[in-house]
Amino acid sequence: MEVVIKRDYGQMSKAAAQLVVDVLNTKPNAVLGMATGSTPLGLYQELVRLHQAGQVDFSRVTTFNLDEYVGLPANHPQSYHYFMHEHFFQHVNIPRHNINIPSGTTSNYPAFCQWYERRIEECGGIDLQILGIGSDGHIAFNEPGSSLSSRTRLKTLSKQTIDDNARFFDAREDVPVYAITMGVGTILDARKLVLVASGKTKAKAIAQAVEGPVTSMVTASALQLHRDASVLVDEEAAAGLTMRDYYEFIYAAKPAAPRA
């Protein structure tokens, strides 16, 4: 696993955006896995800026989002459909029919989950998956206890996640209890993983994910099983890492990515 420590949120977001651009430079029709939450916002802003400056083209890109709240229609302001449209899709040129987000309102969840997995496969698999991390160590909505080989399915949100996400809703009771989410196994099938984390509330989860044992109690620790995973953190999120000097030594010696 590559660990990249940046001075602040802005630098971290720029470095993450550059990893996406590097993939698009070598594969303009790449399949991107998208994440929601506050943390990837800076990364999306940077990609939008680069797109508007003519430096990155999304016209051949396909996307798959990690998850969606069960029960929220696409036009609900807290749905992940709405989030992605607001913060990213309306600002770039991804063809509408290439955008895939799990449905929060399907009448048949098992069938939808199977279809979503099949659709990822039919599109050739995910080239780069963007990830955030929950303060309980989750990736997507794979809460503690999720099987490390799980596939897209319904999950019950943990109390911690409901508390964390209550800030976006009028009341804690309004936070949906269920979500449809890619599984840890689905995520591990992506060719490259890029996890972003910022702020001191993430320091413990990052230390556990990067330096703790691989365990379903911290599903982000499954990144240790992946051959090409980058964890990008700011100073505050890096605070619990014990091998920091080593990560910085490796990163400083890394050659720049080849340009197409």
Interface residues with ligand PGA (CB under 6 A) are 37-39, 132-134
Rounded distance between C-alpha atoms, residue 6 and residue 2, angstroms: 13
What CA–CA distance (Å, rounded) separates 184 from 196? 17
Given 138, 164, 189, 234, which residue is catalytic? 138
Position of minimal CB gap to ligand PGA: 37
Looking up tokens 């000097």, which residue turns up?
Answer: 245
Q: Which is nearer to ligand PGA, 39 or 129 (CB)?
A: 39
* 67 assigned to active site: yes
User: Which among 127, 136, 189, 234 is annotated as catalytic?
Assistant: 136
Q: Which is nearer to ligand PGA, 78 or 114 (CB)?
A: 78
Q: Quick one: tokens of 148?
A: 């490390």
CB 125 → ligand PGA: shortest distance, Å? 22
**Catalytic annotation on 22?**
no
Q: Name which of 123 and 148 has its Cβ closer to ligand PGA.
A: 148
Q: Mark whether 226 is an active-site residue.
A: no
**143 catalytic per annotation:** yes
Going from the C-alpha of 247 to that of each of 54, 71, 146, 254, the distances in angstroms are 33, 42, 29, 11
**Distance in Å, CB of 133 to ligand PGA, minimum:** 6
Write down the least CB distance from residue 173 to ligand PGA, Å. 20
- In three-state secondary structure terms, 96 is helix
Whole-number Å distance between alpha carbons of 148 and 231: 18
- CA angle (94 as vertex; 91, 98 as ends), nearest 5: 140
Q: Which residue's CB is nearer to ligand PGA, number 60 or number 87?
A: 87
**Min separation Cβ 56 and ligand PGA, Å:** 23
Q: Which two tokens stand for residue 123?
A: 């599109």
What angle in degrees, to the nearest 10, is found between the helix axes of 41-52 and 9-26?
50
Encoded amino acid at 163, one letter: D
Which CB, 80 or 112, lies closer to ligand PGA?
80
- Min CB(37)–ligand PGA separation in Å: 3
Q: ∠ CA 165-33-186 to the nearest 5 degrees? A: 90
Catalytic residues: 67, 136, 138, 143
